[in-house]
Structure 1
């Protein structure tokens, strides 16, 4: 074939190479790699031109072309891998750092487009397989293809450095994505468990309407979980899955405990009814106790107890009414109402018990101090002396912060003892005062020990 006839064929071959490269740019990476040997092998049998030196120049140019093609493939593959990383980050992270990463990748993409265009232009400009390739043309092809390869390699290095900088962001994103599927599945299983527990409870005859309403309220959340992170975002989906898990587990626990809760309410109803009946009997003994106090002691010793019988009657009646309401709530399976009512009953009975007991305790204590006030006096004096010895331990003079309240305690005790003289002593005031003196002395002792402990 003459040179004149060979020229059109060479042009066609050059255009074919450009189309091959452009086609390969949109192929998946494995197909691109498989296609390269065909795309860049050239077309037709090479012919000798210009002697062995010319053929060597053709070979060098071809080697440069192959090296540029390899660099192009590596850059394309790295860009595709980095795109996956960027998509992973943006699916999870909406912070400014993630936005900066996207902007940086876009800038690199423009740089990649630029060097890729230079590479394709260099390949398209030189048909290294045509007959009669001039040495100067081969040398120019070598230069341009080598430059294109170097640019591709340089941008690939920039891409690699950028990818390394994404390590923390990508690691965090991958961690969240790894949590996503298990978290959603746990939430689904928790909802299923809550539903099964609720069904079992209802099968036993309990309505559990409040639990059923709470479970129904979680249905929209399950729908959103099923729609996936692609629609609602990974962080939001993870948060939703955790919330559904917690609420579903709480529902299941309450449903499982419902039979036990009902039995507990039944036991408390019986117990509180019995206690109310017993308090009714005990409250009847308060009036005789008050009569004894009024007969033997001054008014100051019992006046505060006068309302106890009437208040006990009122409290017990209210407690019995609340018990009836709690029983009705239990029959209607209003568990929270029943529990609250029983707590009110317990508080009423506790207050009544304390008031009724206080009357009997008052008479007992007044009896004891009236027979022998010295026991209370000596008990209080011992507490004061013990505190005085502690205040003087290791000192020649006591600290005024300790001495003053102890001296005041001695004076208060003396005044209380003096108050017992007369025809109708106020024994109750005496008992209150001696208790107050002992509390004051105990505070001084505590202060001394704390100070010495801190200085040790």
Structure 2
């Protein structure tokens, strides 16, 4: 919008003169020229005798005074009076001009404020909604320029300070100025509605701007805390080279934060600050844990070495267990355990090698490598422990079922009967989806019991079959409860 220099208007003082008084800062007032006074005819001095000249001088004095009197009243910027109607029209036109000027200034101020809001949004938000708001603001600016041009033309069209301003001209000026004010008011209302619609976008942008400085400061403080924690770890004799390298990698990020959002953008700066905070806090936390981590690594090394030694002793007892299994039970009961001694020995050997590597990594303060190696050792020892335990557990279970197979049979039959009672609860006939699996479990148990007859029964097959029957029965029980739970729901 074209800026208009402010010039105060006082009803009691002189108005701005000229057609561009309001816009171009014309003279404070313009006194009207005096018209109607006769022009004196010069008289040659040489042709007038002394006495006559004196008489004429005495006669002309009152005439000059009389001619000068109207000029005295016309001085000081007063207008010649042309009648009440013309002056009323002039006053109304001037009032319309003042009202239009006030509307113009109000619209200009609102547009300036809105431009600041738009600049705030564009500095933060690059979303499609923000881009649409910018385009709408530009279109509204063109409407404002058109209304402002209409107003300026109306002001320039008529000089309300002219002495010969007639009533019809003043009336036309008032009409144009009133119309210009109406257009300014309409555009102002559009501007107000547009401003109200910007509320969510502007609020989001202001929130991000409000978060910017605290976020950058938190990032700086996080980096400082990480540096201090790293210094403390080094003072305790821990090199922490990997942490130092990670902290050094954040230095360019700090440089970009210091360069500011004006160069890198508000959203990007906020994202960078949050990323720096997360990484710096992770470095600080790891640096704080380094002394405890070093001590914990030492304890785990000792514990896993002790466990490996114990498993070496236990694995040596697997061969006697296998010998007894071979002597007392059929091949099906122990064939899958034949490789346990070799597997256990190999696992223990690998575990001891990894323990040596973990010790070297600890001495070199490669904590991540040490932790990974110790995890591998633990997995190897767990596998070995399970294999060694499986041989002894197999012998124990086979001894129990050989001595009293009825205990295993009754345990399985009880599970089947309990499931059958649940299937018949509240029913005259069971659901086929429940009855068929239970009938199959009964038949499977009978076949397993029949397999115990003979000179060399396969007790291990019997145990695995009874376990399988109990699992299938448990699945039927779960199905029954789910069906009844759904029906109740």
Which structure: larger Rg? 2
Alignment partner, residue 147 of structure 1: 179
Match of 2:265 among 233, 249, 256: 233
User: Where does residue 59 of structure 2 map in the other structure?
Assistant: none
* Residue 96 of structure 2 corresponds to residue 64 of structure 1: yes
Partners of 1:82 and 1:163 within 8 A in 2: yes
Which runs of structure 2 are paired with 1:329-408 in the superposition (5 Å)?
A: 329-408=361-440
Deviation, 1:114, is: 2.7
5 Å-filtered alignment, 1:178-189, equals 178-189=210-221
Q: Which residue of 2 is the match for residue 4 of structure 1?
A: none
Seen in structure 2, the aligned counterparts of structure 1 residues 53 and 316 have a Cα distance that, compared at 3 Å, is: same
User: 1:215-234 residue pairs with structure 2 within 5 A?
Assistant: 215-234=247-266
Q: Do the aligned partners of residues 113 and 444 (structure 1) sit closer, same or farther apart at CA in structure 2, a change above 3 Å counting?
A: closer
Q: TM-score, normalised by structure 1?
A: 0.86
Q: Which residue of 1 aligns with 2:336?
A: 304
Map residues 306-325 of structure 1 onto 2, 5 A cutoff: 306-325=338-357
Point out where structure 2 has 5 or more consecutive residues left out of the alignment: 1-14, 32-76
**Matching of residues 2-401 of structure 1 within 5 Å:** 13-14=18-19, 17-20=22-25, 42=29, 45-401=77-433
Alpha-carbon spacing, 1:276–1:69, altered in 2? closer, same or farther (3 Å): same
- How far off is 1:252 after superposition? 1.9
CA drift of 1:193 comes to: 2.0
Determine the C-alpha separation between the residues in 2 that align with 1:14 and 1:396: 109
In 2 relative to 1, CA 133–449 (structure 1 residues): closer, same or farther, beyond 3 Å? closer
Residues 341 and 117 of structure 1: CA distance in aligned 2, closer, same or farther (over 3 Å): same
Following superposition, the deviation at residue 128 of structure 1 comes to 3.4
Q: 1:123: how far off?
A: 3.1
Q: Deviations over 1:201-234 (max 9, x none)?
A: 2222222222222222222222222222222222
Q: Distance in 1 between matches of 2:379 and 2:292?
A: 23
In 2 relative to 1, CA 42–232 (structure 1 residues): closer, same or farther, beyond 3 Å? Answer: farther
Distance in 2 (CA, whole Å) between partners of 1:386 and 1:407 is: 13
What is aligned with 1:428? 460
Q: Is 218-227 or 349-358 further displaced after alignment?
A: 218-227
> Which range moved further: 252-261 or 328-337?
252-261
Alignment partners' CA distance in 2, 1:87 and 1:415: 85
Provide the TM-score with structure 2 as the length reference. Answer: 0.81
- Alignment root-mean-square deviation, CA: 2.5
User: 8 Å contact 2:17–2:159 — kept in the other structure?
Assistant: no
Unaligned runs of 5+ in 1: 1-9, 21-38
Identify the structure with the greater helix proportion.
Answer: 1
Q: Distance in 2 between matches of 1:284 and 1:343?
A: 24
1:442 is matched with which residue?
Answer: 474
**Inter-partner Cα distance in structure 1 for 2:142 and 2:218:** 43
The residue that corresponds to 1:27 in the other structure is none
Change in Cα spacing, 1:14 to 1:326, as seen in structure 2 (3 Å) is same
